Amino acid sequence: MATLAPVDPAISEPDPAALIAARPHLRMDARDGLLLDGVPLAAIARDLGTPTWVYSAPTLLARYRQLRDAMAETGLDAHIHYAVKANDHRAVLSLLAREGAGADVVSGGELRRARAAGIAAAQIVFSGVGKSEDEMRLALAENIAQLNVESAEELAMLSALATAMGRTARIALRVNPDIDAGTHAKISTGRARDKFGIPYAEAAALYAHAARLPGIVPVGVATHIGSQILSLAPFRAAYQRIAALVGDLRAAGQSVAVVDCGGGLGIPYRDEIAPSPAGLAAVIRNAFAALDVSVKLEPGRWLVGPAGLLLARVVLQKQTGAARFVVLDAAMNDLIRPAMYEAWHGIVPLSPVALHAPCTEADIVGPVCETGDTFARGRMLPDLPPGALVALLDAGAYGAVMSSTYNARPLAAEAMVGGNSYAVIRPRQPIEALWGEEILPPWLDAPRA
Ligand code: LLP
């Protein structure tokens, strides 16, 4: 079972005021408390209850435009395909669709969602190590831009299905460049021992094989080495290998029009120095500008992570001989990242008074019956009496999408801020919905005599 890393007292943590100061979309107002792009979060918590996810449309748009512009400045023919898995709410997808973003999907469900949000099939790429036949059929019927194929076995399945349907599958081979992205082991995808992609040494032969298969047109190569990557070096190493492969393929007479660079650009959750979109764009330009390819990027976290937060209320504070525990009404079923990846999320009070009150160490936990249901350990925070409101920061990516109803806790409400107000984009799940679709076997359903 995952345990949280012990707190190292030598590493000073940013205090709530520093966390707010480092995020342009957050501001502490002396009267209204913490504002997300000008909208008081306490009012949202009061209106909708807690826990509630809140996303900022202006922040999401600003980040999309920053990344798009950085890519445009490379002079490459570049396309952004938002990784739907990071946050698949239709409001998020529609917002990005209106800006012209495409989508990277990893399931038939995500493909249907992206289409429902108005993303054109011609702007959708389908990634994933195990696409089912039904999912491939859907992708072929929709005639999406590209399927990123991860194995010879998948290629054979796709060729048979496409031929039977009288369709052509444009494919990119997802190549595993055997590069360690230097991120958490559970979200590293580009090492030889990871399940993803085609071994680098086998890629050229498989590409030539693909070009001969009926129903298949190879258009390029793809790679994705992991997520929350905080250094440009692994990107540089991976893209250099991919560029060399493109050269080899062309020398062998293959046509290669597309390089899909994957996602993975990290964000500062704590006080990490993260690479900028311009930095990543420069790495991509250096690797591919001379090759005359069109470039795709599949960012998820960088776009939507900082644009969202999770509002929670303090249920109670409990003091044991060992620690002060602040028990929230949000839990690991809502935001699983700390339990699953030892992830660090900033936690800040919504009240301006609390922000300047003296701090002591506290463990911030949820009410779920697992020790892993711990958001933070040894965090310097003020007194947080029952009813106090807090925000868990940078929770827009891999937050709501990874929620469950463990401990019979309904899915939290979701709201989106924009234009100085907010809109409910998903009401809190009614408790009855938790068992509404369950069916008792007939021998249990009969009234007891
Ligand atoms: N493309 C592919 C093929 C991917 O597998 C992923 C993420 C992305 C793009 C987007 O990566 P991003 O830009 O968001 O780093 N649940 C984990 C992260 C899992 C990432 C899975 N793949 C977390 O909460 O940290």
In a domain, 438, yes or no: no
Q: How large is the average pLDDT for residues 108-129?
A: 97
* Same domain assignment for residues 242 and 114: yes
Nearest to 318 by CA among 364, 368, 381, 371: 364
Task: Determine whether 369 is an active site residue.
Answer: yes
What is the residue type of 254? Q
* Same domain assignment for residues 156 and 27: no
- Domains in the chain: how many in total? 2
Q: Residue 399 belongs to a domain with what CATH number?
A: 2.40.37.10
396 lines ligand 1 (CB under 6 A): no
Q: How large is the average pLDDT for residues 417-437?
A: 97
Nearest to 304 by CA among 61, 125, 98: 61
- For residue 191, with 0-12 CB atoms within 10 Å meaning exposed, 13-18 middle and 19 or more buried, which class applies? middle
Residues 58/69, Cβ–Cβ less than 8 Å: no
* Same domain assignment for residues 62 and 49: no
In a domain, 137, yes or no: yes
Q: Is the pLDDT of residue 418 over 70?
A: yes
What pLDDT does residue 13 have? 86
- The Å distance, Cα 186 to ligand 1 centre, comes to 11
End-of-domain residue from the set 277, 304, 331: 304
In a domain, 8, yes or no: no
* Same domain assignment for residues 228 and 352: no
Own/partner long-range contacts of 182-185 (Cβ < 8 Å, ≥24 apart): 182/229, 182/230, 182/231, 182/233, 182/234, 183/226, 183/227, 183/228, 183/229, 183/230, 183/264, 183/266, 184/228, 184/341, 184/342
What pLDDT does residue 11 have? 58
What pLDDT does residue 26 have? 98
In a domain, 161, yes or no: yes
List of residues 6+ apart from 204 with CB closer than 8 A: 245, 248, 249, 252
- Reduced DSSP (H G I as helix, E B as strand, rest coil) percent helix, strand, coil of the chain, to 5: 35, 25, 40
In a domain, 10, yes or no: no
Nearest CA to ligand 1 atom 22: 227
pTM for the full predicted model: 0.96
What pLDDT does residue 5 have? 46
Is the peptide bond preceding residue 51 cis, with omega within 30 degrees of 0? Answer: yes
- The Å distance, Cα 254 to ligand 1 centre, comes to 30
Pairing of strands 52-56, 413-418: parallel
Atom in ligand 1 nearest the alpha carbon of residue 127: 3
Give pLDDT tens digits for 346-380: 999 999 999 999 999 999 999 999 999 999 999 99
What pLDDT does residue 190 have? 84
Q: How large is the average pLDDT for residues 424-431?
A: 98
Query: Which residue is catalytic, options 30, 369, 408, 440?
Result: 369
What pLDDT does residue 12 have? 75
What pLDDT does residue 8 have? 52
* Same domain assignment for residues 339 and 329: yes
406 lines ligand 1 (CB under 6 A): no
What pLDDT does residue 6 have? 47
* Same domain assignment for residues 284 and 384: no
In a domain, 443, yes or no: no
298 lines ligand 1 (CB under 6 A): yes
What is the C-alpha to C-alpha distance for residues 165 and 145, in angstroms, rounded to an integer?
17
In a domain, 444, yes or no: no
* Same domain assignment for residues 322 and 268: no
User: Domain of 393?
Assistant: 16-56+305-431
Q: Is the pLDDT of residue 449 over 70?
A: no
**Plot region of 158 (φ>0 → left; ψ -120 to 50 → alpha; else → beta):** alpha
Q: Residue 250 belongs to a domain with what CATH number?
A: 3.20.20.10
Give pLDDT tens digits for 143-197: 999 999 999 999 999 999 999 999 999 999 999 999 998 888 888 888 888 898 9
Q: Is the pLDDT of residue 4 over 60?
A: no
Give pLDDT tens digits for 267-293: 999 999 999 999 999 999 999 999 999
* Same domain assignment for residues 300 and 312: no
Q: What percent of the chain has pLDDT over 70?
A: 97
Banded model confidence at residue 447, pLDDT cuts 50, 70, 90: confident
Q: What percent of the chain has pLDDT over 90?
A: 92
Q: Where are the beta strands (DSSP E) in 177-233?
A: 198-199, 216-222
* Same domain assignment for residues 134 and 47: no
* Same domain assignment for residues 300 and 311: no
> Which of 221, 301, 340 is the best mutation target for the ligand 1 pocket, counting ligand atoms within 8 Å of the beta carbon and taking the most?
301
- The Å distance, Cα 156 to ligand 1 centre, comes to 26
* Same domain assignment for residues 164 and 102: yes
Banded model confidence at residue 3, pLDDT cuts 50, 70, 90: very low
* Same domain assignment for residues 376 and 257: no
